[in-house]
Amino acid sequence: MTTSPVTALQARRVLLLLTFTRWFPVGLTIGVTTLLVLERGMSLAQLGVIFSMQGFVVLGLELPTGGFADALGRRPVLVASAVVALVSGLVFITSHTFTGFVVALLLQGVFRALDSGPLESWYVDTAHAEDPAIPVEDGLSRAGTVLGLAIASGALVSGGLIAWHPVRALTALEFPYWCAIGFYVVHLAAVSVLVREPVTHVDSTGFHRALASARQAPTVVVDGLRTLRTSRVLLALVLVEVFWSVGMIAFETFMPVRLAELAGGETEAGALMGPVSAAAWGLFAVGSAAAGLASRRIGVAWTAVLARVLNGAFIVVMGLMLGTVGLITAFLVTYTLHGSGGPVHSTLLHRQAEARNRTTVLSMNSMIAGGAFSLGMLVLGPFAESTSTAMAIIVAGAFSIIGAALYLPAIRQERHQDRSVTEPAPA
């Protein structure tokens, strides 16, 4: 018995459904992961080490595993990533020691590395197998919308579950995490049933191709460094991620910690983080749209500078707030500006890249961002413990503002290009 090929319309439906099942559990846990680690007795210094592990694993595996989906097939890699996600979640929720949490985050890093790209690649390949001219932009755009809705709705449900606390055998923070693990099982089943490929290569040939792809990773890194060395503008843009990533530690990792200090405990903070995170994702989209309007008026590079400076400034404001209302308000403004910075930074990167090196440029940008985040966690975790969470937030915000200066080469280049367009040609 042969199965009929998947149509482009069916592939889009699968893409949207699996995007939801992939990201809804992230929404369930986004506000409680940090708080759960603290609830189980970990210090801020230990927290920094624990959460740095994921970034280091992704940094080390992103390029070596990048070709696995091409070598083995999209479906096997998606199934493997879903299995690792389930195992990492189980290890995390059952951990009560520093070592257990480290292992969980190491596995989470493996999951993130495997999960980077194969679903979208499967959708594009499947749609183009029916008709190479079929536009896939709409499906990918809808998937982005579903991703945001999944995280926002998951965060709302998480906050409600924490406030409700229906299972007294578990702490209020543990219940949403167990619900997320249940959704990991749903996601694994959905991937196994819905993702169909005409040919996969889970055999010696496929594994040899995967190993060959992994061996090319050092070459890609060398090519990336060579590309950065030849372009001062591109090097400056990529280095912005060092400062941006440190700022992200403040409003993504330390925000729940500071909220717990002001709200009276981890459970109270967890109940608040649900609706706050949902609102933040909505404002992230608003910020992205506002960046498009601003870039048409003042230019892409100046919009990037403005977003970076204001984002860092409001991170500092977060650290200065002494009440929950002020902290949450500053956080929401910060997240809006975080949304504003992303599209313009990506636009500036794409301006510097060419078809032959675009993937390398984006990979280098991603690797530097992940590495900076992990190193920043190792520094800011002990710093927050020795001083205060508020002081760590202030320092991270002030440091992130410095990154705005690295947009100056792009501003000069943009100004030069505008002048070249407006100046009349010599007679």
For residue range 154-181, list pLDDT tens digits in order.
999 999 999 999 999 999 999 999 999 9
The CA-based angle 151-153-159, given to 5 degrees, is: 100
d(CA 411, CA 300): 8
Cβ-Cβ contacts under 8 Å for 145 (sequence gap 6 or more): none
- Which has more pLDDT, 358 or 213? 358
Is residue 191 within 8 Å of residue 82, measured between CB atoms? yes
Q: pLDDT confidence of 1, banded at 50, 70, 90?
A: very low
Q: Which residue has the tokens 């559990």?
A: 25
Q: State the pLDDT at residue 409.
A: 93
Query: d(Cα 25, Cα 210) in Å, to the nearest integer?
Result: 29
As to burial, measured by CB atoms within 10 angstroms (0-12 exposed, 13-18 middle, 19+ buried), residue 337 is buried
**Relative orientation angle of helices 137-164 and 266-298, to the nearest 10 degrees:** 150
pTM here?
0.87
- Tell the residue number behind the tokens 């809705």, with chain if given: 149
Among 132-141, 239-248, 379-388, which stretch is predicted with the lowest mean pLDDT? 132-141
How many Å from the N-terminal Cα to the C-terminal Cα in the chain?
74
> Any long-range contacts for 104-110 (C-beta under 8 Å, 24+ apart)?
105/50, 105/51, 105/53, 105/54, 105/57, 106/53, 106/54, 106/57, 108/54, 108/57, 109/53, 109/54, 109/55, 109/56, 109/57, 109/58, 109/61, 110/57, 110/61, 110/84
Question: By the 8 A CB rule, do 370 and 112 touch?
Answer: no
pLDDT at 274 over 50: yes
How many other CB atoms are there within 10 angstroms of residue 185's CB atom? Answer: 14
Q: Domain spans of the chain?
A: 1-215, 216-419
User: How far apart are alpha carbons 247 and 148 in whole angstroms?
Assistant: 21
Q: Exposed, middle or buried by CB within 10 Å (0-12, 13-18, 19+), for 204?
A: exposed
pLDDT in tens, 124-154: 888 888 888 787 777 887 888 888 889 999 9
Q: Structure tokens of 374? A: 């992990």
300 vs 427, which has greater pLDDT? Answer: 300
Rounded CA separation 127/113 (Å): 24
In CATH, 216-419 is 1.20.1250.20: yes
Alpha-carbon span 302 to 299, nearest angstrom: 6
C-beta separation of 220 from 383 below 8 A:
no
CATH topology of domain 1-215: Growth Hormone; Chain: A; (1.20.1250)
Given this chain, do its domains 1-215 and 216-419 carry the same CATH topology?
A: yes
